[in-house]
Amino acid sequence: MRVRSGVVEALGVEIRPRNHVVVRAGKALPLTAVGSSNLELTLGENASAEPIEPELFPEAWRSALRELVAERAPSVAVLGGTDSGKTTFCTMLANAALRAGLGAAFIDGDVGQAELAAPTTVSMILLRKQVTDLFPLTPDEACFVGATSPAALPGRLIEALEKLYHAAEKRAGLIVLNLDGWVEGPAAVEHKTEVISRLRPQVCVVLQPSSDLYDLTEVIGRIGCKVLTLPVPPLIRKRSREERRRLRQLGYRKELGGSSCRTIRLGQIRLTGAIFGGGAPLAQGRLEQLSTLLGRRVLYGEEQATGLTVVVDEHRSSAQRPEPPPAESAPEARMMPAGFERGLLAGLLGRRGQLLSLGLIEEIDYTRGVIRVLTRYKGPIDAIELGQVRLDRDCRELT
């Protein structure tokens, strides 16, 4: 969309002649003409433009935005169900703060429908100008969580949000925290309560269509956070699961596009994640002993607090299988097939645990002691953290 004459407003940003805005696939952008204006629209495949009601957002939204900026609230968390307008409200609030001369930090805390970084991550950016879309921007800091559902790794998610929140506190006059849409049910209420308790934002904006989030609102209020309850605008459209998957695919491509295969020696990095990295690696002699006892060739193993975890070659039995001593039996072990790691999305981490980039695991070669990763990142890596999401080469999620 290009403005040929006049002025058009979008999410609090004034778009003037010679300026243009790109609306990416799967997204919508409400526009309001400020006086007489002339627009040039170029529509891609399946794109459309249609008139809507002059009052795009409820007056309660505009009143809340004015109040939050006038009060110079240092931090605002925005909660609501899926497709309730959280990102839209957060963007409008950040734009209003910038217009008032406040420095604004935006924390994208939605691992499933991330706007700023890729899905499976949370991220933070110190905004330097008003925006209509966060997707083209590069975050200042990001943390790898490893899942697209907050329910999968809630503890890791909270730790990542704390890290970003404390980093933003030192740099911005206003922190805008956009949380995910997991808000219904006892587990969700408990999780969001823990997030608010740990971060302690001054204000919580709750977007709800009716009284659906009453339990969550009541609990947050008892923590001592000021709660503003706002309606969901009627123009907000619910996305299908397929639309959500396509948007995640675009997010993965943003981070992984242009990747090449990089081979890294396992001895040069720490390998962490849900399966390996938390225990003591087994010596070669112990691997050979386990191969005999289990009747499968054991390629790698760790003694962990929860027990023994080994990687076995499903297609090859132990080359030599002498009878074990009568008093010794095969130990209980969690056995993972060789190749389980292929296609797993992983975080490439620096020495401080910061996310450097994402990578897609091609192979862990235990014989040669190397790991092969598809990534754009060329610099030094301290650790590789395996996630729970598996992708194909086109960044489509695999079940």
Q: What percent of the chain has pLDDT over 70?
A: 93
Q: Looking at residues 156-177, what average pLDDT do you find?
A: 95
pLDDT of residue 275: 66
The class (CATH top level) of 255-273+341-398 is mainly beta
Q: For residue 358, is pLDDT > 90?
A: yes
DSSP, collapsed to helix, strand or coil, labels residue 89 as helix
- Tokens standing for residue 353: 């645990």
pLDDT range class, residue 286, cuts 50, 70, 90? very high
Higher pLDDT, 311 or 317: 311
Rounded Cα distance between 165 and 74, Å, is 12
pLDDT range class, residue 327, cuts 50, 70, 90? very low
pLDDT of residue 274: 53
Phi first, then psi: what are they for 32, rounded to 5°? -130, 125
pLDDT of residue 97: 96
pLDDT range class, residue 272, cuts 50, 70, 90? confident
Helical (H) or strand (E) element with 165: helix 154-169
Instruction: Give the burial class of 118: count Cβ atoms within 10 A of its Cβ; 0-12 exposed, 13-18 middle, 19 or more buried.
Output: buried
Per domain, the residue ranges of the chain are 1-56, 59-238, 255-273+341-398, 280-322+329-337
pLDDT range class, residue 279, cuts 50, 70, 90? confident
Which residues contact residue 137 at a Cβ distance below 8 angstroms, ignoring those fewer than 6 apart? 116, 125, 131
Tens-place pLDDT, residues 234-258: 878 888 999 999 999 999 999 999 9
Tens-place pLDDT, residues 27-59: 888 888 888 888 888 988 888 888 876 577 889
Least confident range from 68-72, 231-235, 373-377, 385-389: namely 231-235
Contact 76, 203 (CB under 8 A): yes
Q: For residue 324, is pLDDT > 60?
A: no
Mean pLDDT over all residues of the chain? 89
Torsional class of 76: left (φ above 0), alpha (ψ -120 to 50), beta (otherwise): beta
pLDDT range class, residue 114, cuts 50, 70, 90? very high
Contact 39, 2 (CB under 8 A): yes
Q: What percent of the chain has pLDDT over 90?
A: 61
First to last CA, the chain: 37
Higher pLDDT, 273 or 284: 284
pLDDT of residue 278: 66
Q: Looking at residues 9-17, what average pLDDT do you find?
A: 91
Higher pLDDT, 210 or 200: 200
CB count, 10 Å around CB of 270?
12
Q: Looking at residues 13-27, what average pLDDT do you find?
A: 87
pLDDT range class, residue 321, cuts 50, 70, 90? very low
Q: For residue 326, is pLDDT > 70?
A: no
Q: For residue 302, is pLDDT > 60?
A: yes
Question: What is the dotted CATH code of the domain comprising 59-238?
Answer: 3.40.50.300
